[in-house]
Amino acid sequence: MAESRILDIRAILERLPHRYPFLLVDRILEFEDDKRIVGIKNVTFNEQFFQGHFPIKPVMPGVLIIEAMAQVGAILLIGAIPDRHNKLVYFTGIDGARFRKPVEPGDRLRIECTVLKLKSRFCKMKGEATVEGQLVAEAEFMSSLVEV
């Protein structure tokens, strides 16, 4: 049975080593241990990347949408590990990335990651990013748990 757990920014900062301007997760809405997670990235005009991508028509870079997916997935993977402060989750690969619609300032990016394969130090997930229910990006990505 799915357990709905909301993680605020303080709980996210406990689990991820990322900090501004590279932290791309604002909230976790729900997760099921070792199965799936749903996170939010509120996209604002103040994001640094909008200064150059593109000033006349700001669009969130696709690689940062994928990075946001990887960060949401990492929260799921590292969450249940007791000595998580001695571990990092490295992004190790990506397959089938597709970008369906631009993400713009003011959008609320909803990211859902589902575990496809999980071993002791390796995980493969499927990520989908939506804005107002419309699919904007998807990918399968791999990560590995490493000692700090």
Is the separation of the CB atoms in 40 and 109 below 8 Å? yes
* Full domain range(s) for residue 98: 9-147
Is the separation of the CB atoms in 5 and 28 below 8 Å? yes
What backbone phi and psi angles, to 5 degrees, belong to 61?
-60, 140
Residue 27 lies in a domain: yes
What's the gap between Cα 128 and its chain centre? 10
The model's pTM is 0.94
53 counts as catalytic: yes
pLDDT at 1: 39
Look at residue 82 and tell me whether its pLDDT is greater than 80. Answer: no
Strand order in the sheet with 134-147: 27-32, 36-42, 108-118, 122-131, 134-147, 87-99
Look at residue 85 and tell me whether its pLDDT is greater than 90. Answer: no
Residue 85 lies in a domain: yes
pLDDT digits (tens, 9 = 90+) for 17-54: 999 999 999 999 999 989 999 999 999 999 999 999 99
Look at residue 3 and tell me whether its pLDDT is greater than 60. Answer: no
Range 62-89 average pLDDT: 91
Cα–Cα distances (Å) from 111 to 3, 51, 70, 83, 148, in that order, read 17, 24, 10, 26, 27
Residue 130 lies in a domain: yes
Range 91-103 average pLDDT: 97
Residue-wise DSSP of 76-99: HHHHT-TTGGGEEEEEEEEEEEEE
DSSP secondary structure code for residue 7 in this structure? B
Residue 1 lies in a domain: no
Residue 88 lies in a domain: yes
Q: Which of 5, 18, 53, 84 is catalytic?
A: 53
Residue 4 lies in a domain: no
At 92, which CATH number?
3.10.129.10
Calculate the average pLDDT of the chain: 93
- The C-alpha atoms of residue 24 and residue 114 are separated, in whole angstroms, by 18
Residue 3 lies in a domain: no
Residue 105 lies in a domain: yes
Look at residue 91 and tell me whether its pLDDT is greater than 90. Answer: yes
- The C-alpha atoms of residue 148 and residue 5 are separated, in whole angstroms, by 27
What is the tally of structural domains in the chain?
Answer: 1
Q: pLDDT-derived band of residue 4, with 50, 70 and 90 as boundaries?
A: low
